[in-house]
Amino acid sequence: MITHRISVRDDIGQALVELALMLPIFLVLIWGGVEVGRLAYADIEISNAARAGVAYAMQSNAFASNSTGIQNAAKQDAPEITNLVVSPITLTCYCETAGVATAADCTKINTGSTGTDACSSPKVIAEYVQVNTSASVDTIFHFPFIPNSVTLQGRAIMRVEQ
């Protein structure tokens, strides 16, 4: 009867070879996960900044026309994003009646004009404000074939309280 004895040392060498082959793959996966997490966090911050700006603006017509206050509210919500850009605030007005909305000129509505662009009774004026934010985020790790900088954008729209 022939017995074969397997040495434990053979298994150790095999494990080291497997580790040497798989370690770079694991490191790239970990670095990629960290990078995706950073970009996701920055995207959430930029979107939340747009919401904070529009939440400030929707309080009243006076707040909706205060672009400096809207920009400050957005930037205060995302202090970690140093290059946050709050783009022009867009006001859109509608004349609403029985669930039907027609576009109207905000400047004529807010100045009390009675021309064809103004809302006549029983229509209700609905004013919406839109805030856009954007920022360029640099990646920590520079992988080949992947851009070193990503531009992220946020947008929020709310109706202004009357």
Percent of the chain with pLDDT over 90: 49
Q: Mean pLDDT throughout 111-118? A: 51
For the chain, how many structural domains are there in total? 1
Q: Is residue 151 part of a domain?
A: yes
pTM: 0.76
- pLDDT tens per residue, range 117-135: 567 667 778 889 999 999 9
Domain hosting 92: range is 8-159
Q: Is residue 1 part of a domain?
A: no
Q: Is residue 2 part of a domain?
A: no
DSSP string, the chain: -------HHHHHHHHHHHHHHHHHHHHHHHHHHHHHHHHHHHHHHHHHHHHHHHHHHTT-HHHHT-HHHHHHHHHHH-TT-TT-EEPPPEEEEEEEETTEEEEE-HHHHHTT--STTSPPTT-EEEEEEEEEEEEEEE-SS--TTS-SEEEEEEEEEEEPP-
Q: Mean pLDDT throughout 131-154? A: 90
- pLDDT tens per residue, range 50-96: 999 999 999 988 899 899 999 999 999 999 999 999 998 888 888 87
Q: Is residue 115 part of a domain?
A: yes
